[in-house]
Chains A and B, each alone.
Chain A
């Protein structure tokens, strides 16, 4: 295969759909040099594959278990050389209006070979769609947060996140095992994940399911305040005065000597 061949990755959870796309890409290969770097069944697999076999184009289904196409596109932006993403979908659903508004390319299955070819020919001139735009597409909350570490994209499952704490430029993601640094806005994350997290402080979101209880403590200045106790994590987090109602709402106060 020539060096200038377009490297393509196919992502779809249905085997027949992947096979069909492969056949169509083979048909296009006469008109346009291309090579298929692989096939993935869902977003996570695609991301793993791309770390070792980079591609310029990812053809991905929108609805997939585990990680859908839109979330995949968001994580792909963290790669050193993010590929262009073209979405495929079987049904001209409501969500596609948003794709059109944002000039995001998509193909409707069954895909016609001519339509696929013209999409492929545009790829070298295209830039990946930005994170802002993707974040505003109608889609469920992400299942993972992605961070770049030593030029690799690492996925952190959202249910493993104990808390998110904004510090200077970054957000610290705390899981039971370790910490990660994320470059996003805490308010955006709060909106995206809704009830999963509760804001205990201006700079801190805590996962409800990881809260063990609350404890009343007296600080160095003599003022008493609440601290959040967490499951599987030793450190505690202060609850700000403004967010004190959280303690009452969650109502799982641990009986503590500090109250007296």
Chain B
């Protein structure tokens, strides 16, 4: 599995590793301290342009590389390393004749670094897979409050005799919500699907809370096709209702603002803080940590979640990279699972846009079983 070479986290790790090695090499030459610095500068002046150029080339090719089989991907990276190495060498040979050093040695060192880094990322991705499973398990426990489930069932019961049709819609919403809650949630999902899920969830809450809950959607400029971790917004809305609306004696507004800005998907959720309604904050922190952890697993350093108390109330701000193609390497387990289930979801760009959950639980064909 290749690392996602456009990911800021990956790039930072490469930069740190290579510069670290350079520092160690400079140090290892047993020079007096005053020469050490010069030595380091000399080394970086060769290494740095090479490194940055290579990272740039690979980042540009990343979305293609991700789709290649691992071996071919590695071969491409090796070729890129050699080509960039040769180019840099001749550039320096022209700039400073006689000081460019040995091309073979530089290439050998560069390829050794590439091999070491690829091996490191290979191990890291392997090590992360159980973490994703664990995060999912944790998410399963933290997600829906039993309080919400039983209150909703009670609300539906109250509708059955007088407004059977509303009861039907409410039960359908609940079914959709729980289908998503219970499925394998390791794959990224289009933002539009998450928004639909949130609408269904808030409809159920409105059923219980009536006029006390006002929802303000600002999604006109949201990138509907952006891929986001499933249940990235719903648990936060649940928090907003539980802490911001339920304990309040006056109606309150939960606002959702989704937009695209400078290549990043932003989600800003706000809810009021009731004057007297302090509920213990453990549940809140758990949901925030859960979402934050899943964002990190999917997007590494490129995504973030911040929460703060403002004059108007409580605010959560999520920022995610704008992706429309599934990075296979970022979530290996999900990709493997998708491959193991032929006829279900296609990976990448042709990912199914069918409504959530419709493909779930489809009967397998007899041919596959036999």
Contacts and interface: CB of A to CB of B under 8 A. Distances in A.
Contacts of A17: 151, 154-155, 158, 208
B249 A65 contact: yes
Given A65-B246, A66-B249, A140-B278, A91 B154 contact: no
Contacts of A16: 154-155, 158-159, 207-208
B88 interface: no
Say what secondary structure dominates the interface of chain A. Answer: loop
A45 to B, nearest CB: 10
B274 interface: yes
A109 interface: yes
Contacts, number: 58
B166 to A, nearest CB: 10
Contacts of B162: 19
A20 B151 CA distance: 11
B169 to A, nearest CB: 14
Given A14-B208, A15-B210, A91-B146, A63 B246 contact: yes
Interface in B118-155: 145-147, 150-151, 153-155
B304 interface: no
Contacts of A90: 147, 150-151, 154
A23 B158 CA distance: 8
B151 A109 contact: yes
A42 interface: yes
Interface residues of A, number: 20
Contacts of A13: 246
A143 interface: yes
Contact of A14 (B159, B161, B209): B209
B277 interface: yes
Interface string A93-136: 10000000000000011100000000000000000000000000
Give the dominant DSSP class at B's interface.
helix
Contacts of A93: 147
B277 to A, nearest CB: 6
Interface string A10-28: 0001111101100100000
Interface string B152-187: 011101110110000000000000000000000000
A110 B154 CA distance: 5
B247 interface: yes
B276 interface: yes
A110 B207 contact: no
B157 A20 contact: yes
A20 B154 contact: yes
Nearest to B250: A65
B113 interface: no
B29 to A, nearest CB: 62
Contacts of B247: 63, 65
B23 interface: no
A194 B65 CA distance: 62
Interface string A50-85: 000000000000010110000000000000000000
Nearest to A41: B249
B160 to A, nearest CB: 9
- Going nearest first, the 8 A-B pairs with the smallest beta carbon separation are A20-B158, A16-B155, A16-B158, A90-B150, A65-B249, A90-B151, A91-B147, A66-B249
Given A16-B159, A66-B249, A110-B157, 5 more contacts: A15-B210, A65-B248, A90-B151, A109-B150, A109-B154
